[in-house]
Each structure stands twice: as C-alpha cells, then as structure tokens.
Amino acid sequence: MRTAKDWKQFEVIDTSGGEKLERWGDVILTRPDPQVIWNTPKGDVWRKTNARYLRSSSGGGKWEIKNMPRDHWTIEYKQLRFKISPTGFKHTGLFPEQAVNWDFMADKIKNAGREVSILNLFAYTGGATLACAAAGAKVCHVDASKGMVAWARENAQLSNLQDKPIRWIVDDCKKFVEREIRRGNRYDGIVMDPPSYGRGPGGEVWKLEDSIYDLVELCAQVLSDDPLFFLLNSYTTGLSPSVMEYILGVTVGKQHKGKVSSSEIGLPVSQSGYVLPCGSTAIWEK
C-alpha cells in the first residue's frame, strides 16, 4: 500500500465503529467510513471532536456541531494550500490520501526535461491540478460541477498559483474528451478520479464498473506520442486495483511502452500505527 505520510496539518487520529476521527488543521471532525468495520475501544480523544457527521437511515445525513470555530479554514500540504469546509454529504473538499499521487505526478513533471501538458478529469477541488501546476505543467482542469471548479480556483489563489497556465473547464468529462479528440489536442499526462456512481448528460445513471473501460479507452486517444503517465483512481470497493491495472495495460499499455502498476492508497492512523485504506490507484508510466 502507498501511504500519504507527509502531512503536517492533517491527521487520522483514530478509527473505530464505522467512523474515523481526523484533525484538519486545528479542527477535529468525526466522519463515517465504510472501511472501518472494527470496534476497537474509543478513548477520551474522541470527545475532542468539533463536529460529527451523522448518517440518516433514509440516505444522506447531517453534521452535529459541537464547537465549530468557523465554517471554513485552510490547511497546507508542502507548498499547496486548500480551503476546507464540511459539506452536506460528509466531505470536506479534499481527499488527503491523494497526496501520494500528487507527489508522484509532480516528480514525473519535474524530471521530464520538457514542457508538459496534463489533463485532470473529474478534477473536484483541484488537488492534482495544483500539484501539477506547481511542478511546472500546463493543466486542463475539467469537472461537471461549476461550484467545484470555483472552489478549485479559490485553492489556486490560496496556493499563489492563479497565474499558472491552468484551463478551468465546467463540462461533462466524456463529452469534453470527445471534443478534444476531434480538435486534435493531446496531453502528456492524464489523471482521472471518477465517482463510483454518476449521471450522464441525459440524466442516465451509470456505475463506474460498467463504464470505466470505455472511458479509459476513450481518454487514451488524447495522449501525446510521448506521454509520461496515466493515473486512474477509484473509491469503488467492487473495482480492485488489479482490474484497473489490467484495463490500463490493454489500453494505454498497448499503445505506449512503459510499465503498469496498481495498489491501495491509505493514511496512517496515529492511535493504532496501522494504515487506513482509502481507495485504489492504477498507473501507467513511461
């Protein structure tokens, strides 16, 4: 497992009973996590939480506020800064385990020895976008949510990256890639972080397991002749790292020489010393 262990302002303090206790800067949150199927004793540290997300039996849920000093704040990862704000569906605007992938991409870009263009699909609040831009790449950031793209732009300003060559696109990712193919635009690296479930532009419901192969095959068509990487993330428990690795191998790996790998990614848990699994990543790299 690859572990995002270089955080200073974020920490998974403990996990138990379907929940994780996290420190985001000076704010402590309790959030549900389906991976936490153990019931280890909850010590006094759990009483320090500022807010706890409670799931509803009818779906969704709400935050139980105990002592929240503010509704949003910032945390840092190396030279990057992010706005954190608890949202209606338990999220905070950042997936800190992805830092291990930000470092991988930044290293590839810095060592490329040439100008690099990156496509970030399902780009959310821009963690990968900012990491790649800070490393010197031109980045195309695509997400279907206008609000998430606005949040990403805010993060770029917080990180003093607002003047970097970043294209901010609000669009359906599949339709955008189809247009890029017709326009002849190409990228040296692609990062994809698609949701487990989604709705297409016509409102149709789609599952990642049913759509991922076709999506990767489509996106492979916008890779340059000498690409650096194709990175694919998944939080879908039914989609194993090995399956994603296989998909990258028979699509990107068939067109370009390189190596394919996959692994779980995770975050260290302070109280136990173990690592909390937080999804999977498969990578094709030059």
Q: Indicate if the alpha-carbon torsion angle 222, 224, 225, 230 is positive or negative.
A: negative
The tokens describing 116, both together, are 């690099």
Q: What is the structure's pLDDT at 183? A: 98
Beta bridge partners of 63: 53
Q: What is the structure's pLDDT at 60? A: 82
Task: Please give the biggest Cα pair distance in the chain.
Answer: 59
Q: What is the structure's pLDDT at 56? A: 85
- What is the Cβ-side half-sphere exposure of residue 108, based on CA atoms within 13 angstroms? 26
181 phi, psi to nearest 5 deg: -60, -45
The tokens describing 48, both together, are 């320090």
pLDDT at 258 over 80: yes
Please identify which residue in the block is written with the tokens 């998944």.
234
Q: What is the structure's pLDDT at 248? A: 98
- Residue with more model confidence, 199 or 39: 39
Q: Indicate if the alpha-carbon torsion angle 93, 99, 100, 101 is positive or negative.
A: positive
pLDDT at 167 over 90: yes
Cα separation, 25 vs 22, in Å, equals: 9
Identity at 121, one-letter amino acid code? L
Q: What is the structure's pLDDT at 195? A: 83
The 10s digit of each residue's pLDDT in 181-234 is: 999 999 999 999 988 876 655 666 667 778 899 999 999 999 999 999 999 999
Q: What is the structure's pLDDT at 207? A: 76
Q: Are 277 and 269 in contact (CB under 8 A)?
A: no
- Give the predicted TM-score (pTM) of the model: 0.95
Per the document, the length of the chain is 286
Identity at 126, one-letter amino acid code? G
